[in-house]
């Protein structure tokens, strides 16, 4: 007798639509549960890489210190003797000087020290991307942008720039100073109280607050700069405040602390404030070479919600020195940025 069931076994059937939808829903729930864990694991890996970068940079600083009895200054220059602001300043930032100490000697050897860093002869130096200066969570920092400035006689024409996620600790404020034979800028009272600032000559012996309680280098998220500033600041080979150094004049991750951080003072806040894309805080290399994760909740000196800048500050700008007004409570964050402030900071306070 011929078969009449077209080859199907009695009782066999496929999935019903409702069963298929249930399976899809279960898979979707599992993905929703697992995705944050995957993202968290990836961020943990990025944070570890960021910590390793800072370890490398702090080790390079200490190797330089071993040879020169001081940490690298924020601004080095080849010694223009005329001292005129109209003369191209042959200067470069601390990251350039550190290149031979972080296994980037080839880039350092490409620097022509007899001309300005922005001279076309130095394209092979400034127009490179150095991954040691990039936090992997700071996604935009690896981009290459035309700075859009024609600033003769320092440089002429297009200058394509690369950027950095880390800056030297200048202290609780930026205080511009000048080298002995450069009068083109107004000399400050040289009361910068951090570790790395313009023409600094800071050695370990001057860190009387303790090297384990003093910031050396901190995170400084390039990607948080306003779009209009992203070609103008955080230049990896730059030497100005905003290119080479950060300051605790502004709270850590100011977008969290200041509701009105997007105001007339925005550029100054983002150019100079420490911060990161890591949840909860930012990494800092201490003067002893260790790396600490500083939480957003750290105690901070009083600051203005209007412009996210410390209040109760007297003095300044150059040549008058800055200082805290009498009776001001200095926050733990600011205390960690000074090398010789005399503050007592407990390790369980940050």
Question: What are 232's two structure tokens?
Answer: 């103008």
Percent of the chain with pLDDT over 90: 40
What's the domain range around 252?
32-349
- Exposed (0-12), middle (13-18) or buried (19+): which is 229, by Cβ within 10 Å? middle
Residue with the two structure tokens 């970068």: 53
Q: Is residue 8 domain-resident?
A: no
Q: Is residue 22 domain-resident?
A: no
Label the pairing between strands 91-93 and 75-77.
antiparallel
pLDDT at 188: 44
Report the C-alpha gap between 95 and 319 in whole angstroms: 27
Q: Is residue 188 domain-resident?
A: yes
For residue 246, the SS3 value is strand
User: Which distant-in-sequence residues (6+ apart) come within 8 Å of 223 by Cβ?
Assistant: 138, 139, 140, 141, 277
Average pLDDT over every residue of 340-345:
85
Report the C-alpha gap between 252 and 281 in whole angstroms: 8
Number of domains in the chain: 1
pLDDT at 322: 78
Q: Is residue 20 domain-resident?
A: no
Q: Is residue 189 domain-resident?
A: yes
Q: Is residue 162 domain-resident?
A: yes
φ/ψ of 76, rounded to 5, equals: -110, 155
Higher pLDDT, residue 320 or 153 = 320
Residue 210: CB atoms within 10 Å? 12
Q: Is residue 5 domain-resident?
A: no
Where residue 44 falls among pLDDT bands split at 50, 70, 90? confident
CA angle 248, 286, 293 (to 5 degrees): 75
The top-scoring range by mean pLDDT among 73-82, 262-271, 277-286 is 277-286
* Least-confidence region, from 35-39, 64-68, 81-85, 314-318: 81-85
pLDDT at 255: 84
pLDDT in tens, 151-178: 544 555 677 889 999 999 999 987 765 5
User: Are the C-beta atoms of 295 and 256 separated by less than 8 Å?
Assistant: no
Report the C-alpha gap between 318 and 176 in whole angstroms: 7
pLDDT in tens, 17-32: 777 777 788 888 887 7
Q: Is residue 69 domain-resident?
A: yes
């Amino acid at each position: 007798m011929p078969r009449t069931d077209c080859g199907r076994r009695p009782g066999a059937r496929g999935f019903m639509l409702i069963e298929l939808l249930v399976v899809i829903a279960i898979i979707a729930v599992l993905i929703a549960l697992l995705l944050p864990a995957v993202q968290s694991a990836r961020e943990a890996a990025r944070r570890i890489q960021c910590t390793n970068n800072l370890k490398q940079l702090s080790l390079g600083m200490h190797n330089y210190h071993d040879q020169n009895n001081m940490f690298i200054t924020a601004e080095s220059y080849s010694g223009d003797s005329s001292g005129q602001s109209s003369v191209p300043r042959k200067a470069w930032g601390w990251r350039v000087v550190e290149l031979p100490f972080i296994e980037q000697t080839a880039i350092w050897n490409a620097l022509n020290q007899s001309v300005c860093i922005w001279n076309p002869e130095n394209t092979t130096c400034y127009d490179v991307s150095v991954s040691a200066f990039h936090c992997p969570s700071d996604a935009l920092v690896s981009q290459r942008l035309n700075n859009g400035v024609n600033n003769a006689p320092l440089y002429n024409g297009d200058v394509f720039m690369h950027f950095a996620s880390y800056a030297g600790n200048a202290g609780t404020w930026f205080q511009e100073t000048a080298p002995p034979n450069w009068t083109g800028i107004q000399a400050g009272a040289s009361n910068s109280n951090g570790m790395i600032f313009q023409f600094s000559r800071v050695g370990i012996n001057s860190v009387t607050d303790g090297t384990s309680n003093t910031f050396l280098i901190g995170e400084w998220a390039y990607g948080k700069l306003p779009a209009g500033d992203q070609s103008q600041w955080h230049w990896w080979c730059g030497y100005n405040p905003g290119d080479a150094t950060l300051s605790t004049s502004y709270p850590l991750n100011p977008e969290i602390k200041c509701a009105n951080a997007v105001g007339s003072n925005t550029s100054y806040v983002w150019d100079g404030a420490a911060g990161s894309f890591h949840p909860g805080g930012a990494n800092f290399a201490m003067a002893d070479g260790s790396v600490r994760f500083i939480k957003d909740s750290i105690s901070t000196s009083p600051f203005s919600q209007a412009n996210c800048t410390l209040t109760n500050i007297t003095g300044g700008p150059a040549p008058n020195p800055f200082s805290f007004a009498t009776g001001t409570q200095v926050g733990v964050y600011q205390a960690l940025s000074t090398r010789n402030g005399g503050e007592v900071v407990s390790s369980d306070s940050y």
